[in-house]
Structure 1
Amino acid sequence: MPVELVDDAGRAIGACPVSQAHQPPGLLHRAFSVLLFDATGRVLLQRRAAVKTRFPLLWANTCCGHPAPGESVTDAAAVRLTEELGLAADLVEAGVFRYHAEDHGSGRVEHEWDHVVIGRLDAGEPRPDPAEVADYAWVRPDALRMRLCDDPGSYSPWLGGVLEIADEASHLVEK
């Protein structure tokens, strides 16, 4: 699957296979991170499956992935949400941030222009694909912030940035 390479301002500059983008030192490319809220303000986290090529078995946001070159971020995020967790929700882009992280276990690198996409889940229970998701949990954002400080090694390196942007924009999904 190709990913869209971007420049330092997030403008598309080309494409390459996803595996190439994640080889050291990492090529800056477009990604998305979905974070769903429930009616009480909790967020849905997933524990990444053991077979993931980057950061396996760490807790992360609801789901994440890469849009194809030229594909709408929210459209790609909606598809990924269904594939990984069997869920559907109205999604809105909340913001973007850039991060770089090395997975010392696999030798792969994340260097992403990450679009944070949020939504509210009003109905339905997650039906995780075991090839993608080892577990899931609903967590209050304030408790998650404390856990990120107390035990950062249990969480994906991008989760803090996703939570910060999603929290600031959570009013976009309130009813």
Structure 2
Amino acid sequence: MSAADEILDIVDENDQVIGQSPRGEAYERGLRHRCVFIQARDAEGRVFVHRRTATKLVFPSYYDMFVGGVVGTGESYDDAALREAEEELGVSGLPRPTPLFRFLYDDGAGRTWWSAVYEVRCDLPVDPQVEEVAWHDFLTDEEVEARLADWTWVPDGLAAHERLRGYRAMG
């Protein structure tokens, strides 16, 4: 089964399930679904940053400061966060990511999804999926901030980053 064939729950503006759709169709038709964003930090507190592969369905070759992805049909946000973090980082035995908040991402151009933001500490050596990750490194918060204007970042990740910055400031 290809990524485009994966079945997703389609949700309304209140994050209530109203149907199901293959991922490719959900993207093509702008159907609202669910995603998870996990900020992974190493033992030194640096953030895992990566560039997506050119073959990704959405935002190919863009940089991201989160790992994550879509929530499958019937899957909880929490289960999806752990699955996606382990898959993208290429590790097993990761602690369960800590949920922080949710927000509705909508770019006004047909891309909209409920977004659950998490954080996790990854002390394990990472081995990211070559199908998902073209480049990766752990960067300090200052290094990430310094690259915000220079690199092409996934827009939903930037939205999550801005909200996470505000969330932490209110701490």
Question: If the length of structure 1 is used for normalisation, what is the TM-score?
Answer: 0.80
**Aligned match of 1:58:** 62
Stretch moving more, 51-60 or 75-84:
75-84
CA contact (8 A) 2:40 2:67 kept: no
Task: Give the distance between the partners of 2:168 and 2:95, measured in 1 at CA.
Answer: 16
Q: Give 3-state SS (helix, strand or coil) of 2:127's partner.
A: coil
Task: Give the distance between the partners of 1:119 and 1:96, measured in 2 at CA.
Answer: 16
Q: Alpha-carbon deviation of 1:102? A: 8.3
Q: Any idea what the Cα deviations from partners look like across 1:131-175, whole Å, max 9, x if unmatched?
A: 111011212224323422x236x11101222223444359x9xxx
Structure 2: gaps spanning 5 or more residues: 1-5
Task: Give the distance between the partners of 1:124 and 1:57, measured in 2 at CA.
Answer: 25
CA contact (8 A) 2:48 2:138 kept: yes
Q: Any idea what the Cα deviations from partners look like across 1:6-61, whole Å, max 9, x if unmatched?
A: 1112222221111111015x111111111112233321112101111111111113
**Aligned match of 1:118:** 119
Structure 1: gaps spanning 5 or more residues: 104-108
**Aligned match of 1:9:** 14
**Aligned match of 2:3:** none
Q: Any idea what the Cα deviations from partners look like across 1:66-98, whole Å, max 9, x if unmatched?
A: 122221112112112222221223311111122
Task: Give the distance between the partners of 2:71 and 2:55, measured in 1 at CA.
Answer: 21
Stretch moving more, 161-170 or 15-24:
161-170
RMSD, aligned CA: 2.4
Opposite residue 155 of structure 1, the aligned amino acid is W
CA contact (8 A) 1:58 1:155 kept: yes
Question: If the length of structure 2 is used for normalisation, what is the TM-score?
Answer: 0.82
How many residue pairs align between the two structures? Answer: 162
